Structure 1
Amino acid sequence: MDAAFSYNFPSIRGVQAGKEYFVAMCPLRIIPKIFLFDEEEIPPEHRAQRIINKARIPEMANYIVENQNDYVFSSITASIDGEIEFIPFNNDTSSKDLGQLRIALDSRFLINDGQHRRAAIEEALKISPELGNETISVVFFHDDGLKKSQQIFSDLNRHAVNTTSSIGILYDHRDQLAMVTKDVITATPILNRYTDKERVSLSKNSPKILALNHIFNTNLKLIGKAKGDEISKEDEDFIKQFWPILCESIVEWNLVFKKELTPRDLRANYIVGHGVFIEALGLVGIYLRNYYPDKWEDYIKKLSKVDWNRSNTNDWLGRAFNQNGRIQKTSYTIQLTANKIKQLIGLPLTESEQTLEDKFCKGAV
Structure 2
Amino acid sequence: MEASFSYSFPALRGMQASREYYVVMCPLRLIPKIFLFNEEEIPPEHRSQRILNKSRVPEITNYMLENSKDYVFSSLTASVDGDMEFHPYSEEANFKDLGQLSISLEARFLINDGQHRRAAIEEALKISPELGDETISVVFYHDTGLEKSQQIFADLNRHAVNTTSSLGILYDHRDELATITKEIIADISLLERYTDKEKVSLAKHSPRLFALNHIFNTNRRLLQKKKGEFISEQEKTFLKEFWHILCDSIIEWKSVLNKEISPSELRSTYIVGHGVFLEAIGLIGNYLYQNHPSDWHSYIKQLSSIDWNRSNKKDWMGRAFGSTGRINKNGQTIQLTANLIKQKLNLPLLENELEIEEKLKSGE
Q: TM-score range by the shorter chain?
A: over 0.9
**Offset of 1:43 from its aligned partner?**
5.7
Q: 1:109 to 1:42 in 2, by over 3 A?
A: farther
Unaligned runs of 5+ in 2: none
Match of 1:115 in 2: 115
Does structure 2 retain, via aligned residues, the 8 Å contact 1:7–1:102?
A: yes
Partner Cα separation in structure 2 for residue 330 and residue 96 of structure 1: 58
Alignment of 1:239-318 (within 5 A): 239-318=239-318
What is the CA distance between 1:361 and its match in structure 2?
Answer: 1.4
For 1:341, the equivalent position in structure 2 comes to 341
Does the 8 A contact of 2:166 with 2:211 survive in 1?
A: yes
Percent identity for Structure 1 against Structure 2: 65
- Name the residue aligned to 2:138: 138
Tell me the residue number matched to 2:197. 197
Instruction: Measure, in 2, the Cα distance between the counterparts of 1:333 and 1:295.
Output: 27
The CA distance in 2 between the partners of 1:39 and 1:304, in whole Å, is 59
TM-score normalized by structure 2? 0.98
The whole-number CA distance in structure 2 between the counterparts of 1:86 and 1:42 is: 32
AA partner of residue 231 (structure 1): I
Partner residue of 1:152? Answer: 152
Secondary structure at the aligned position of 2:363 is classed as: helix
Q: Deviations over 1:168-207 (max 9, x none)?
A: 0001111111000000000011101111000000011000
Determine helix, strand or coil for the equivalent of 2:145: helix
2:48 and 2:146 in contact (8 A); partners too: no
1:247-273 superposed Cα distances (whole Å, 9 cap, x missing partner): 001000000000001101100010000
**Change in 2 beyond 3 A, CA 1:136/1:313:** same
Query: Structure 1 residues 278, 76: CA separation in 2 closer, same or farther (over 3 Å shift)?
Result: same
Is the contact between residue 245 and residue 297 of structure 1 (CA under 8 Å) also seen in structure 2? yes
Mapped to 2, the partners of 1:297 and 1:107 lie a distance apart of 67
Matched, 1:214 2:226: no
C-alpha distance after superposition, 1:315-351 (max 9, x if no partner): 1111111111111000111111111110111111011
Give the distance between the partners of 1:231 and 1:34, measured in 2 at CA. 41
| Corresponding residue for residue 358 of structure 1 | 358
**8 Å CA contact retained: 1:184, 1:240:** yes
Partner in structure 2 of residue 39 of structure 1 = 39
Structure 1 distance, partners of 2:261, 2:242, is 24
Alpha-carbon shift at residue 147 of structure 1 (Å): 2.2
Partner residue in 1 for 2:172: 172
Aligned length: 364
In 1, Cα distance between the equivalents of 2:200 and 2:174? 21
Aligned-pair distance for 1:42? 5.2
Runs of 5+ unmatched residues, structure 1: none
In structure 2, the residue matched to 1:328 is 328
Question: Match for 2:339: what amino acid?
Answer: N
CA distance in 2, matches of 1:4, 1:251: 77
TM-score, L = length of structure 1 = 0.98
Kindly indicate whether the alpha-carbon contact (under 8 Å) linking 1:80 and 1:146 is maintained by their aligned counterparts in 2. Answer: no
- Displacement of 1:139 in angstroms is 0.4
What do the CA deviations read for 1:207-250 (whole angstroms, capped 9, x no partner)? 01010000000000000111111111121111111100000010
What SS does the aligned partner of 1:253 have?
helix
What code does the residue aligned with 1:252 have?
E
CA distance in 1, matches of 2:41, 2:96: 37
- The letter of the residue matching 2:263 is P
- Inter-partner Cα distance in structure 2 for 1:2 and 1:231: 58
1:41, 1:348 → 2: CA distance? 52
Distance 1:32 1:38 in 2: 12
What secondary structure is seen at the aligned counterpart in 2 of 1:289?
Answer: helix
Tell me how far 1:48 sits from its aligned partner: 2.3
User: Structure 1 CA distance, aligned partners of 2:227 and 2:235?
Assistant: 14
Q: State the distance in 1 between where 2:357 and 2:41 align.
A: 51
CA distance in 2, matches of 1:274, 1:285: 17
